[in-house]
Amino acid sequence: MPKSLLALLTLLFPPVLQAQTTILPQEFNTPVTIRSLVQGEPLTLTVTPRLAGAIHSVRWKNQEFIDSFDHGRQLQSASNFDFGTVFHGETFNPTEAGSRSDGSGSASTSRLLHLTYSDFQLQTTNQMAFWLTPKQSSSGHPAKNKTNLSNHLLTKRVTLGFQHWENVIRHQVTFSTPIGEFHRYAQFEALTGYMPAEFNTFWGVDVSRKRLIPLTDGPGEQALPVILAKTDRSMAMGVYSPQQPSKGYENAGYGRFRFPAAKVTKWNSVFRIRNAAGIPAADFSFENYVVIGNLKNVQETIQELADYFATQKR
């Protein structure tokens, strides 16, 4: 196409730019919600100041998918490190939404650094709190961190819809680890979703055989993309990542958990890195695709996503 014609077309039909709003951290006082339509019904996703920009709510057809109670039960990201010693979970655990001590309170130890959003996209960066305070312990193991606030940064980009799949939430996250720390083992919970207890059946999608597999309660990880659904299969949420599994952890990656006392269920997508010489400070990026709908819709969409990304790798 001649450049003159291209210039004329650009003048007559300028690109449609999606309006963006940026909120300064000190001005983030009310929740921010982005929206799209899924099967003609509104899908909303909300982040709140209480959680330093972590995702508080995902709602569709009057169904809430997230059980956001304290500062751990959200749709959020976290990391765990060995700090150069024997690894124990939660003892060096930067967490997007905040700390264990934040509880069900109205503020977070994590700090929001940046928030920008449009109609159906948002991006945040925050400085993650350690889950434990320096004087706390988890399962009898004392915290290894010496401060309440870590120097680990987390940037996420969330988009409602992906390609032609309107029932997909694309979640891109980057963990920025700081200089001055020594770790041989890093565990990235790239994304986890805590769900109401009514999502009480666990399923795996065997994408190689194109079938749905019932999962036990576990708890823990296995290799299949996981779905949590209601007993009647009318509502479900699942997760798929084209980056799974981590090298050396081919039988893990997708977890499912049930916490009867807390009346909550959980799924996650986890990546791991091990290096005896030490893991250099760097940016570690992961993509996950959260799928909503009824169980059949979610299974089919995860299968289609797996097939799509398989063709991209050829």
Span 206-228, pLDDT tens digits: 999 999 999 999 999 999 999 99
Q: What's the structural domain count of the chain?
A: 1
Predicted confidence at residue 18, as pLDDT, reads 66
3-state SS track over 197-263:
CCCCEEEEEECCCCEEEECCCCCEEECCCEEEECCCCCCEEEEECCCCCCCCCCCCCEEEEEECCCC
Q: Diameter of the chain by CA atoms?
A: 72
What is the span of the domain harbouring residue 198?
A: 32-312
Within-domain flag for 3? no
- pTM of the complete model: 0.93
Residue 19 lies in a domain: no
Q: What average pLDDT does range 10-37 have in this prediction?
A: 81
Residue 51 burial class via C-beta count within 10 angstroms: exposed 0-12, middle 13-18, buried 19 and up = buried
Give a yes or no: residue 165 inside a domain: yes
**pLDDT given at position 19:** 87
The answer to the question of residue 157 being in a domain is: yes
**In this structure, is residue 9 part of a structural domain?**
no
The CATH number of whichever domain residue 37 belongs to comes to 2.70.98
For 117, the token pair is 């959003």
Whether 258 is in a domain gets the answer: yes
Residues of the chain with pLDDT > 90, as a percent, come to 93
Per-residue confidence at 3, pLDDT binned at 50, 70, 90? very low
Mean pLDDT, range 191-220, rounded to an integer? 98
Per-chain mean pLDDT for the chain: 95
- Judged by average pLDDT, the poorest of 36-50, 87-101, 120-134, 300-314 is 300-314
φ/ψ of residue 13, rounded to 5: -130, 75
Residue 10: pLDDT band (50, 70, 90) is very low
> With 90 as the cut, is the pLDDT of residue 9 above it?
no
Write the pLDDT tens digit of every residue in 24-72.
999 999 999 999 999 999 999 999 999 999 999 999 999 999 999 999 9
Q: How confident is the model at residue 141 (pLDDT cuts 50, 70, 90)?
A: very high
The average pLDDT across 258-266 equals 97
Q: How confident is the model at residue 11 (pLDDT cuts 50, 70, 90)?
A: very low
- Has residue 2 been placed in a domain? no
Q: Is residue 18 part of a domain?
A: no
Checking if the pLDDT of 4 tops 60, the result is: no
- pLDDT per residue as tens digits for the range 279-293: 999 999 999 999 999
